[in-house]
Amino acid sequence: MRGMRLHLAGWLALLLVVGAQPPGQVAADTKFDLVADPLRFLRRATHAYTDEFPLGQVQNQAYGYLFPQGPFFLVGHLLHIPDWLVQRAWWLLLLCLAYSGTLTLARRVGVRGTLPQVLAAGCYALSPRILTTLTAISSEAWPVALVPWTLVPLTRRTPRIAPAVVAVAVMGAVNATATIAACLPAFVMLIARRSYRAAGRFALGAGAVSAWWIGPLLVLGRYSPPFTDFIESAGVTTAWLNPVEILRGTTSWTPFVDTERAAGHLLVAEPAFIIATCVVAAAGLAGLARRDMPWRGPLLAVFAVGFWVLGSAHLATSLYDGALAPFRNLHKFDPLVHLPLALGVGHAAATQSAETSFHVPSGSCLLYTSDAADD
């Protein structure tokens, strides 16, 4: 019961955040026609080619909206709910999933104390990666919100693969790279635990539930022109990437050049937000660095892989303009860094609180929690 109250309190706080956005206004979030007429949009998305816009084109991953984002907006449309309210409800659902997933994960791995658990969940749900994309391209923020749910079933002594695969199935496929990046933390955690068979089953399961969009993606690759040659280059997407920005979470290049993404731009331009994100990153590192950090080994492995991927930007620019062009927007791998950091913030807060009241013996936390603690 107490755990449910924590979820409800977080959802209420997030409702206030979403409700503070200008009422009555529809944001240009990903696809305006999805909001205005979802039924027509979804009908068009079932075809590889459309002659409606602009003068006919092979559609780029439009099938990705068939689930789950498209049906969500379609239900709101059929119920005659105002477009802007449906959009706010979508944002709220995304934030609540990120919050509750991280809160559940924090409890499962052994972050102690109510406030530290809530703090970890809030840090991830309102992380720069989600805030930067929420109202501009929420289809990319959606897989980020589901990353904690892929890890929760894996924290048991015997990892449960099926629930983790279900979380993958709900990620959708508006952006294939974003979905792949969101699956990577679970795979790395299983490898770090030396659960190689489980990692293989997870990879096969993720591939199986993604077959519905992998097939159309292969068709798109066969008939579509090489559009990665005509969009932003690796030099643009990685120009602002450095260790500090990676740790702060401001890994997306668009806020540096686009002031319309208000939240993202404030995070890279306002000194107060820059200092605040640096403090959060420092707290997360302090928590991860402690020897009594629960699940320290697997979480550090996930963090290290994410930091290496994001840090490879300036070492392989030509490669990201060549064979790895679909992955040149490296900010999609941000959850590898910031989910461990969020949990580190929670643990740092828990240990600080404990040390101010009584001495905590070194090594008092176990690396893995028991099944009894998970229930």
Would you state the pLDDT for residue 374? 42
Whole-angstrom Cα distance, residue 74 to residue 70? Answer: 6
Secondary-structure breakdown of the chain: helix, strand, coil percentages, each rounded to the nearest 5? 70, 0, 30
Neighbours of 293 (CB within 10 A): 24
Would you state the pLDDT for residue 317? 83
Residue 50 dihedral angles phi and psi, to the nearest 5°: -130, 140
With b meaning 16 or more CB within 10 Å and e meaning fewer, what string describes 143-162?
Answer: bbbbbbbbbbbbbbeebebe
Would you state the pLDDT for residue 259? 76
- Ranges of the chain with pLDDT below 70: 1, 354-375
**For 363, which DSSP code?**
T
- pLDDT tens digits, one per residue of 220-237: 888 888 878 888 898 889
CB within 8 A of 293, min separation 6: which ones? 287, 299, 344, 347, 365
Would you state the pLDDT for residue 355? 66
Whole-model pTM? 0.91
CB within 8 A of 207, min separation 6: which ones? 214
Cα 177-180-183 angle, rounded to 5 deg: 150
Would you state the pLDDT for residue 361? 52
- Nearest CA to 285 out of 248, 334, 250 is that of 248
